[in-house]
Homo-oligomer: A and B are copies of this chain.
Amino acid sequence: MELPPIVQSFVLHFGEMGSRWGINRTVGQIYALLYVSSEPLCADQIVEKLGISRSNVSMSLRELQGWNLVVLKHLPDDRRDFFTTPDDIWQILRTLAEERKKREIDPTMTVLREILMQSPTGEAERYAQDRMADMYGLIEQLTNWYDDVKQLETDRLATLLALGAKVTRLLETKDRIVSFGRGRHSGKKDGESA
């Protein structure tokens, strides 16, 4: 592997973390390399920089394309494919969230839906189904929130993030204003500060 030390640490780390993130070492390394490269790279350049086989690079790039995490570029008068990652890191985040949801959550929701359609035959099944319904409900709340928030433009999303838990204070303010306008007070207590 022939890389500047800074880049090398980053690439090796992504390789090691790969398994925790649901991708394999090579895929992680290639992604890291593309992410920190200012110019798009072709497969043979990746082979050279990472010291892995051509076929492994080919398969890993295919997998990254499956995740929509890489962008193809072409140079004039050059048949080779060149690869980069999107410049906009928020876009990368959105893609990652979408793809992980697709792989890690959607299949479970499908299975839960199927199971919840069946009628339980005994007490144990009834209890199990109730628990699964709880799980289904919670995930549904989370994914509804996600579907809602993912539509936001980046700067609004950033505002929302920066606000964090303070939003609840805002909510209380609104409650007060609204109930004042309606001539009555909400029952909520209101003691929190900074």
Contacts and interface: CB of A to CB of B under 8 A. Distances in A.
A124 B45 CA distance: 15
Interface stretch (A57-65, A68-76, A126-134): A126-134
Interface string A147-169: 01101100010111111111110
Contact of A111 (B10, B115, B128, B168): B10
Contacts of A108: 13, 17
A121 interface: yes
Band of interface residues on A: 35 or more
Given A118-B6, A127-B36, A156 B177 contact: no
A13 B19 CA distance: 20
A20 B22 contact: yes
| Chain A interface main SS type | helix
Given A17-B107, A38-B124, A132-B10, A161 B174 contact: no
A141 B158 contact: yes
Contacts of A180: none
A9 B107 CA distance: 13
13 contacts: A4-B128, A6-B115, A6-B125, A10-B112, A37-B128, A89-B134, A89-B135, A93-B138, A93-B142, A144-B161, A152-B165, A159-B171, A170-B171
Interface of A: 4, 6-7, 9-10, 13, 17, 19-22, 35-38, 89-90, 93, 103-104, 107-108, 111-112, 114-115, 118, 120-122, 124-125, 127-129, 131-132, 134-135, 138, 141-142, 144-145, 148-149, 151-152, 156, 158-168, 170-171, 173-174, 177
